[in-house]
Amino acid sequence: MDSIEIRKSHFDVWILVLTIVLVSLGVTMVYSSSAVLAQERFGDGYFYLKRMLVFGALGFGLMLAAMNVPYRVYCKLAYPILLGSLALCALVFVPGLGRTIGGATRWIQLGPLVFQPSELAKVAMVLFLSYSLQKKAEKIRSFSIGLVPHLFIMAVVAGAILSQRDFGSAAMVAVITWLMLFAAGVRLAYLFGMAAAVLPLAYIFLSGEGYRRRRILAFVNPWSDQYGAGFQIIQSFVAFNEGGWFGKGLGEGQQKLFYLPEAHTDFIFSVLGEELGLAGVIFVIGLFALFCYRGLKVALNAPDLYGRYVAIGATLLICLSAVFNIAVVMGLLPTKGMTLPFISYGGSSLVVLLTVVGILLNISSYKKVNQ
């Protein structure tokens, strides 16, 4: 029988190119969507652009570093990274460190630097699941070993994020956990039972606060509160409608001019739809679809189970975030703060996700070779 050796080879160039294209598009759209707002708030139309460029430079630097760190290193650091991310989530409530924006306390501020710990917590969950699933591979179909420990850790991480009033990130953790358990071979009966248990809790959580109920009602019928909870999604619809087939042209959109809230962050895809039209929308969706294909291909070709699970989790983290954001701005999901990966303005998201891409590229560079 032939022996198998793992060798380092070339990384997946497609993933790197797709990432560069998405970030470049993001820098362009952030400037287009924020210049007027930045001039109004800070007297500098380039304010958000300059910060985006700094975040991008830092993110690409960390991506290059992660590309050169053997991915197996994270296997040994799964628990420290997880515990560290939970500690950071707790620090947002420390007076003088935590920063509250829009009624939600989700950020840590150190001088001019602002960081959102939930972004790291999602990556920590992927690394922990990858470590645990490969370790328990032979007993993964056992209820007490394959499901319960992972469900418990998911509840802890999601609970820490929910305490920051960030339902979107908590839901992302739950969905990624479910899909990674599915990929690892956990029994479908257990997984559907898990979903059946979580959905009622999600409903209770969503209906427990007045502002969440208003968002759900606005999702069902935005025009019932067109100047309140439904205003943002209606303005998003207007932006897509105005964009037509090929858009009004880069920089020519009108909805970003104080009509569409969060135009440079959560709803930047609406600005893109107005300025680049349906063609631009399809182009961006195609980029993420291709990224998903290449990421899952890296997972299939990974030299071991740990690399496979990390690649699956990394791909899901990026592509599901894109799906959720696009679904929200198109009215397919209730309005919830979640950025579009690589494109929306947001330093924590951009830096963390570029680092995740670096890990994915490192995994892609290892191949099995028959001796």
User: Which whole number is the average pLDDT over 265-286?
Assistant: 94
pLDDT tens-place string over residues 182-213: 999 999 999 998 888 877 777 776 666 656 66
46-55, 131-140, 224-233, 305-314: which has the minimum mean pLDDT? 224-233
Average pLDDT of span 127-152 = 93
Assess whether pLDDT exceeds 60 at residue 249.
Answer: yes
pLDDT band at 2 (very low <50, low <70, confident <90, very high): very low
pLDDT in tens, 351-371: 999 999 999 999 999 876 554
Find where tokens 């060798």 sit. 7
Tell me if 117 sits within 8 A of 125, measured CB to CB: no
Residue 247 CA to residue 33 CA, distance in Å, equals 14
Largest CA distance in the chain: 71
User: What average pLDDT does range 238-253 have in this prediction?
Assistant: 90
pLDDT at residue 1 greater than cutoff 60: no
- Residue range 277-311, pLDDT digits in tens: 999 999 999 999 999 999 999 999 999 999 999 99
Domain count, the chain: 1
Range of the structural domain that residue 239 is part of: 4-370
> Tokens representing 275?
């300025």
The residue count for the chain = 371
Note the pLDDT of residue 86.
93
- pLDDT for the residue numbered 333: 84
